[in-house]
Chain A
Amino acid sequence: MEAKGWISGDESAKEMLGRVLSRARPFLLLPPLHRVPLRPRNVLEIVGPSPSAKTHLLIQAALTCVLPVDWNGVHYGGFDGLAIFIDLDCRFDIFRFSHLLKLRLASGSISEIDREQNDNTKKRSSIAYDEELYTLCMRRFSYVRCYDSFEFLATLKTLHYRIQKEKAYGNCVHMLLIDSIGAFHWIDRASTCLPLRGNNRKSHSIQTVLETVVQEIRKLLLLHPMLAIATKATLFGNRAMNEAKCRNLRKPDTSYSQSGGITALQLPYREYMPSAWQTFVTHRILLRPSDDHLAVSDDQNHSVYFSEWLLPSLSFLDKFIVKEAGVFLVA
């Protein structure tokens, strides 16, 4: 009877878990993003003053995306898909990306690269890597620059068709990376349009532009499950906090590094993105440079950065440095 059909169910729990888990596996990215599992359809915002290694994290994420899981017996642990990089900051360095990719290919896993780089005998000589795999990975990295918000909107509107075309070739897009979502903040803020005809005409302001951006990205994520990561530069400091910090300069600055967490009131920057974007973001991590330097070898002095998860709010700081082979955690 029909009522019985209602009760008996469509599939068992085992079948359901098998279906869901095979498609949506949690992403475990490289440190310092490893503390929170990120899945497709998550939107991660990496926020920090300039410079704080934000673009480096994007590059590492892109590398993990384009590398295959296994190749010729070597385990790379990548996601074997396409990465789409929208560069609003226009400062991307392809040589650095290529160098990091070659180092990863030559050594397999990232901990091995660290050991090899510290071994001075192997410094900067020829790096042996698989040419075919290198070309394949470089081809999986899609890049576009945008010089203003209109170009950015045009890119987002036509991205769906591009991804569909790639799918027709059998390539799956796993990541959407946006460098510096706040790049055109000042330009959009200052541009006001007098409505020429019609009272309901949408004017070009930060609100409407970012609402459209959020709408387009949301539609893209619905149609093509992928992880979206955006960096954001802090444009405004928190003046009260900086002044308090200066007054305490003579006392040893223990409070910052030991207690760890920062509450929402003490954020060292002021949020300037409209609420449409703020509610769209599901995860947020804050990076900032510390005053310490770490001497790795005689001629290299790396500055240490702090990273802290703001959303979900975890109450401890990670420390990391940027070396030639990428981002590494400092204990």
Chain B
Amino acid sequence: MAPLKSLEQEYPILDSNFQSFCASHDIFSVEDLLLHDLYVLAAFAEQESSSERLKQGIAQVLSIIDGQHQPWLNGMELLEDAQRNKHVLSTGCEGIDLLLHGGLRVGQLTELVGPSSSGKTQVCLLAASNVAKKHIGSVVYLDTGNSFSPQRVTQFICQHSDPAIDQAKHTTLRKVMNNISCQSVFDIFTMFDVLHQLEFNLRSQIQGGDCKVQLLIVDSVSSMVTPILGGSGSQGHALMISAGYLLKKLAHEHNVAVLVTNHTVGGDGGISKPALGESWKSIPHVRLLLSRDHGGSICCW
């Protein structure tokens, strides 16, 4: 909530006269201006002595507000951006790639839902190793349950390479493993910290190495959100939705594919349903349901 005073340096028209006029209408920051009717304010400004300058100040504030939302795009520009940046990352598993029409799409949030030990972490590890190896991109893996296994990733990477010289294989393995950055997060506030830091790094384009982040995996988002949901307060839901929007923003603005896992809970009539409730349903773009018995998957969104 930047107060109007701080804008005076950059925009000298928002001087102390303008600020005191706004203060008389209980407006102290730009966000307050967003909640007020600017036409009414301009009408009040008419009655003041320095009405011209005040109205210029209001016009200046409007142009500041215009810079506060995302840019407008038309259909062709959207399509060009999507074709250029929003390609598809293969997960390494043909069956899942088929369901996802090619793989994990950059710019979208894919959710894997399933009961315990239905293979969600395995899919995450496979996708991480595949992207690090084939797509020349780096992976950020946020692990909430200490389930990241470097040995398993090594197995995935070395699976398809021919038994060449050990030295060359070792170097490739090192390079690929360097592209996967694993961090343990155990609560949602740490996750917010990590994601904000990642956003800052991506925005200022500081690379840890020479590879751009292509895939972000959060395993599992439900174990971080479930402890804060419930009760009569709405803070838990607000944090969950904020986290969802932060992930979507990272995905779209910085061209990252996001993969999250979720577990299932019992629902009406004994049928299990994904956890995190109705509000979370509108966050992911694609939802894959994994079940254990037959190894089948249902895709729904």
Contact = CB atoms under 8 A, between A and B. Distances in A.
B209 interface: no
Interface stretch (A200-208, A279-287, A305-313): A200-208
B282 A183 contact: yes
A147 B245 CA distance: 7
A140 interface: yes
Contacts of B38: 157
A80 interface: no
B72 A154 contact: no
Contact of B233 (A145, A190, A243): A190
Interface residues of B, number: 50
Contacts of A152: 69
Interface in A66-109: 89-91, 93-95, 97-98
Interface in B223-238: 233-235, 237-238
B234 A186 contact: yes
Contacts of B71: 144
A236 B74 contact: no
B60 to A, nearest CB: 13
B69 A155 contact: yes
Q: In the A-B complex, list the 6 residue pairs whose CB atoms are closest, starting with the nearest.
A: A138-B75, A190-B238, A141-B75, A186-B237, A50-B281, A154-B69
Interface residues of A, number: 64
Interface string A168-189: 0000000000001001101101
Contact of A158 (B66, B75, B248, B279): B66
Interface string B19-52: 0000100111001101111110000000000000
B165 interface: no
Contacts of B282: 50, 89, 91, 180, 183, 233
A137 B75 contact: yes
Contacts of A142: 72-74
A50 B28 CA distance: 39
A234 B268 CA distance: 17
A143 interface: yes
Nearest to B27: A201
Interface stretch (B76-84, B115-123, B138-146, B153-161): B76-84
Contact of A135 (B76, B239, B240, B245): B76
B66 A189 contact: no
Contact of A198 (B28, B31, B245): B28
A141 B74 CA distance: 5
Nearest to A101: B75
Given A201-B28, A236-B278, A144 B70 contact: yes
Interface of A: 49-51, 89-91, 93-95, 97-98, 135, 137-148, 150-155, 157-158, 161-162, 180, 183-184, 186-187, 189-191, 196-198, 200-202, 204, 208-209, 212, 215, 219, 233-237, 242-243, 245-246, 249
Contact of B35 (A161, A162, A198, A208): A208
B36 A202 contact: yes
Given A150-B31, A153-B34, A190 B68 contact: no
Contact of A151 (B70, B252, B301): B70
B68 A148 contact: no
B75 A202 contact: no
A151 B69 contact: yes
A160 B289 CA distance: 44
Contacts of A135: 76
A209 B34 CA distance: 9
A148 B285 contact: no
A117 B285 CA distance: 26
Given A91-B248, A147-B245, A204-B31, 4 more contacts: A138-B75, A147-B70, A150-B68, A189-B237
Given A204-B35, A212-B35, A186 B79 contact: no
B82 A95 contact: yes
6 contacts: A137-B75, A144-B71, A154-B34, A180-B282, A233-B278, A234-B278
Given A138-B79, A147-B70, A153-B34, A50 B278 contact: yes
Contacts of B35: 153, 202, 204, 208-209, 212
Contacts of A208: 35
Contact of B278 (A139, A158, A201, A237): A237
Contact of B74 (A89, A140, A209, A212): A140
A79 to B, nearest CB: 16
A186 B279 contact: yes
